Amino acid sequence: MSILQKLQIFAAWIKQLFSTSKIEVYQPTKKYLGEDDLASYNGCRENLPLVEVPLEFLDDCIRDMIRTMTRPVSRSIGHSTGTPEGRYHTDRDVDLWHRQAGKNGIGYHFLLGLDGKLYLGRPLNTVGAHARNHNAGTIGWAYVGGMTRDMRSPKNTMTSEQIALAERLIRTLNKYIPHIEHQGHDEVGNTACPSFSMQDWLNERGL
Ligand SMILES: [Zn+2]
């Protein structure tokens, strides 16, 4: 065996070790889309929860999820993650926090990253865990943020990317779930979440 071959085997071993430990540390059941998956990506697959959805597939993704949805849904409830302005978090963090809180993984169906990335949380056909007494019949989504940097006060910290993504998400839900209504968490619970008036926000955008 040449030195080059030995190096290649060693490199493959390191790569495998790295990828395995990464999955174990964060979430054993989680699968991320690789480049090969993206090449054949065709809408959203329910058996791959907790993935980042390329935005060009958002519409197809939601359409496919709704077509296979058997639970009735009539409302969406918007949240913030209750984290400081500007602090970056992904679905992995939220999934971990919610597991630590005794939930069966991430409680939201959609997570809007600071950079405008859309993360899939729970499959749409699975009841969420995001608003007490209002999980049945609803879709839960959250933007990362919602608090001032010092965590003293609720604040609408949505970035322009998050605003654009939230608008797109709501428009797509409206398209595929006729008569769906949208609420903020504060409309159904004793909370400041999502740190802005959902109804004003919807009205301003004609949603
Ligand atoms: Zn909330």
> Are residue 87 and residue 73 in the same domain, yes or no?
yes
Q: Over its length of 207 residues, how does the chain's per-residue pLDDT go in tens digits?
A: 677 767 766 766 666 555 443 332 223 233 444 444 443 444 455 444 567 777 877 888 788 788 888 899 999 999 999 999 999 998 889 999 999 999 988 999 999 999 888 888 888 888 999 999 999 999 999 999 999 999 999 999 999 999 999 999 999 999 999 899 999 999 999 999 999 999 999 999 999
What's the pLDDT at 123? 83
> Are residue 49 and residue 109 in the same domain, yes or no?
yes
**How many angstroms is it from 189 CA to the middle of ligand 1?**
8
Report the distance separating Cα 206 and Cα 201, nearest Å: 9
> Are residue 183 and residue 86 in the same domain, yes or no?
yes
Backbone angles phi, psi at 32, to 5 degrees: -100, 155
Residue type for 77, please? I
Residue 143, class by beta-carbon neighbours within 10 Å (0-12 exposed, 13-18 middle, 19+ buried)?
A: buried
Q: What are the angstrom distances between the C-alpha of 19 and each of 16, 123, 130, 142?
A: 5, 24, 31, 28
CATH number of the domain where residue 185 is located: 3.40.80.10
> Are residue 5 and residue 64 in the same domain, yes or no?
no
Give the total number of structural domains in the chain: 2
**How many angstroms is it from 76 CA to the middle of ligand 1?**
12
> Are residue 72 and residue 130 in the same domain, yes or no?
yes
Report the distance separating Cα 37 and Cα 53, nearest Å: 12
**How many angstroms is it from 44 CA to the middle of ligand 1?**
25
Pairing of strands 110-112, 181-184: unpaired
> Are residue 159 and residue 194 in the same domain, yes or no?
yes
**How many angstroms is it from 135 CA to the middle of ligand 1?**
12
> Are residue 25 and residue 103 in the same domain, yes or no?
no
> Are residue 96 and residue 149 in the same domain, yes or no?
yes
Domain coverage including residue 146: 34-205
Question: Which of helix, strand or coil describes residue 139?
Answer: strand
Q: Are 119 and 150 in contact (CB under 8 A)?
A: no
**How many angstroms is it from 146 CA to the middle of ligand 1?**
10
- SS3 letters across 33-59: CCHHHHHCCCCCCCCCCCCEECHHHHH
Q: Are 54 and 38 in contact (CB under 8 A)?
A: yes
**Alpha helices by DSSP H, 27-159:** 35-39, 58-67, 91-100
**How many angstroms is it from 61 CA to the middle of ligand 1?**
24
**How many angstroms is it from 142 CA to the middle of ligand 1?**
7
Rounded to the nearest angstrom, the gap between the alpha carbon of residue 124 and the centroid of all alpha carbons in its chain is 11
> Are residue 5 and residue 63 in the same domain, yes or no?
no
**How many angstroms is it from 57 CA to the middle of ligand 1?**
26
Residues within 5 A (CB) of ion ligand 1: 79, 185, 193
Q: Are 58 and 118 in contact (CB under 8 A)?
A: yes
Radius of gyration of the chain (CA): 19
> Are residue 164 and residue 185 in the same domain, yes or no?
yes
> Are residue 88 and residue 159 in the same domain, yes or no?
yes
E strand residue ranges, the chain: 52-53, 75-80, 83-84, 110-112, 118-120, 138-143, 146-147, 181-184
> Are residue 172 and residue 93 in the same domain, yes or no?
yes
